[in-house]
Every structure is written in structure tokens, then in C-alpha cells.
Amino acid sequence: MKIGFVGLGIMGKPMASLLISKEYETYLYDINKEAVDELVGLGGIACSSNKELAEKCEIIFLMLPAGKHVEKVLFADDGLAKNSKSNTLIVDMSSLSPEESKSFATKLQEYNISFIDAPVSGGEPMAIEGKLSIMAGGKEEDFNKALPLLNVMGANVVHVGDTGTGSATKLVNQIIVSINLAALSEASVFASKSGIDLNKMYEAIHDGLAGSAIMEAKMPKIIDRDFEPGGRIEINYKDLGNVQSSANAIGVPLPVSNLVKEIFSSEIANGNATKDHSFIIDFFERMANHQTPKGGKH
């Protein structure tokens, strides 16, 4: 089986490397030649264009920043739709709106190409370890065709329903992640300005009801003031924009999500778009005129 992978960024590169490590014949394309070269060194096969990759592969994975990038890769003249073989399966692991996923799937049917929306959760550490959560929408037979490959990249792979439901489930995930990030940030600033060592705060509460996967992943970064991106502020903000537009389309008010979206917007306006999404603590620190100390204790 010949596998294609387009999009070798923070998430895509480790995901593709896992497929290569399992000795799948994996063809690669990204505008970042260094990322391609690194994976070629592990056994991947470089392509010079999306067209070349499309002509070679039976299943093609996408991991791209936003819907506009997916649309270009799919439907440009040198893109996948016009150049893939009949019955190719495209598995889009980017984070899109359900409306975009449904639209792309419908357009691809004209080319006899199948489509699954299969976004992920877990960030770069879980991508490296092959322990992502993957939520997939599409026809069951297409999901089953992709499942052995998805199991290489994910520890929890669930077929949630028809096309678009994978993307919708990812938006559910992002609502919960984003609100939890804001709550963790607000609480950490309150604790620190109250004179509490953040290490002790974390020790005291992380096994209780307030504990969460977000706390486990991000509290150490906050304590160390390590904001190198695993998930970027700009990506979270894009996802919350998709949440807002999808919620508007189906008539679901999201007052808390929309408030948190504006916190992310503020951080982008202050030049922090590419920092880790845990850096929204900066918003709460500026309001409180208090920066949590590196190491957790003054």
C-alpha cells in the first residue's frame, strides 16, 4: 500500500514518521523542504508536488493549518482531486469546520474520491508517541480501510458518525480545552498573587475534581514558563472561530466559548500568536499586574 502525507508541521511530521517507522511506503510533500528531508532520512519518499504524490498513492493523509489550505491542496489544478486515481481515500486530519468537511467530501465525490474527516487531539507530545485521540467522520467502509494506519498514530480512534461529525467532535474538544486553559490560567494567577507556590497548588489539587488532562499537560509549562508551542494560540483561535460559525449555523449559543475566544484574540493582538496556547495566562497576568514566577514560587 502506498501512503501519502501532506503537511509536515508540528503535528504532521511526527505522525508521518510513525507510518514510516512501521515500514509503510510513505510519500511526502510539504513546502518546508527541511521537514521532508528529515523524514526522507527515516525512509520516507519525497515528492516535488501534490500532483506527483496524488499520482502515486492510494490513501492520502492531510495535516494542514486551516480550511483554505486544505481546499487549495485538494482542488488546485495540481492538487489531489484532479490528479488522484479513482477510489483514492483522502483522510483529512486537519481541524476544520463540519461545513467545510462536508463540502469537500461532496466535491470529491465528483472525482470518485472518498473522504474522511479525522482530526486529532493530544498535541505534539502525543503525536510523537503515537497516542493521539482521533475522531473520524465518514462512511464506515472508508474508516475501516484507514483504521490500521490511524491506529499507528492514535491510541484512541473512534468512528463518530457521518462526514463532518469528526470535525464537529474536534470542535467539542476545543471548547473544553480552551475553557479549561482559561480557567487554569485564571486560577494560577490568583494562587500566585495569593502567595501560593504553584508547585504546591498543583500537588494539592491535581488528583481531585479540579484535575484534568489540561492541568497535567500545561501546569508544568506554566510553572517553568515554557511557552514553546505544542499547540499555538493562533490555531486555537482559528478553531474557536470554527466553533462560533458552526454554532451560529445550528442555533447554539456559546457565551463562555465566545468570551474565551476574545482572550485568544487579545493575545494575538499583543504579538503572541505563535506561542503555546497555555500562554493565554499572559492575559490574566496583565489584568492582575502580576506575573507568575518561573519555578512557581517567589
User: 284 vs 112, 220, 256, 280, CA distance in Å?
Assistant: 50, 18, 16, 7
Band the pLDDT of 80: cuts 50, 70, 90.
Answer: very high
pLDDT score at 122: 87
Residue pair 203/251 in contact (Cβ under 8 Å)? The answer is: no
SS (H, E, C) the chain: CEEEEECCCCCHHHHHHHHHHCCCEEEEECCCHHHHHHHHCCCCEECCCHHHHHHHCCEEEECCCCHHHHHHHHHCCCCHHHHCCCCCEEEECCCCCHHHHHHHHHHHHCCCCEEEECCEECHHHHHHHCCEEEEEECCHHHHHHHHHHHHHHEEEEEEEECCCHHHHHHHHHHHHHHHHHHHHHHHHHHHHHCCCCHHHHHHHHCCCCCCCHHHHHHHHHHHHCCCCCCCEHHHHHHHHHHHHHHHHHHCCCCHHHHHHHHHHHHHHHCCCCCCEHHHHHHHHHHHHCCCCCCCCCC
pLDDT score at 124: 87
- 91 has pLDDT over 90: yes
pLDDT score at 216: 94
pLDDT score at 125: 87
Residue 90's identity, in one-letter code, is: I
Residue 246's identity, in one-letter code, is: S
CA distance 182 to 99: 27
Band the pLDDT of 229: cuts 50, 70, 90.
Answer: confident
CA distance 27 to 68: 23
Averaged pLDDT, 22-26: 97
User: 77 vs 242, 275, 297, CA distance in Å?
Assistant: 27, 34, 57
Confirm whether 170 is a catalytic residue.
yes
Domains for the chain: give ranges and CATH numbers: 2-163 (3.40.50.720), 168-288 (1.10.1040.10)
Predicted TM-score (pTM) of this structure: 0.89
> Which one from 13, 145, 170, 218 is the annotated catalytic residue?
170
pLDDT score at 294: 96
Rounded to a whole number of angstroms, the distance between the first and last alpha carbons of the chain is 57
Neighbours of 9 (CB within 10 A): 17
Band the pLDDT of 173: cuts 50, 70, 90.
Answer: very high
Residues for the chain: how many in total?
Answer: 298
Q: What are the cell numbers at 243?
A: 466553533
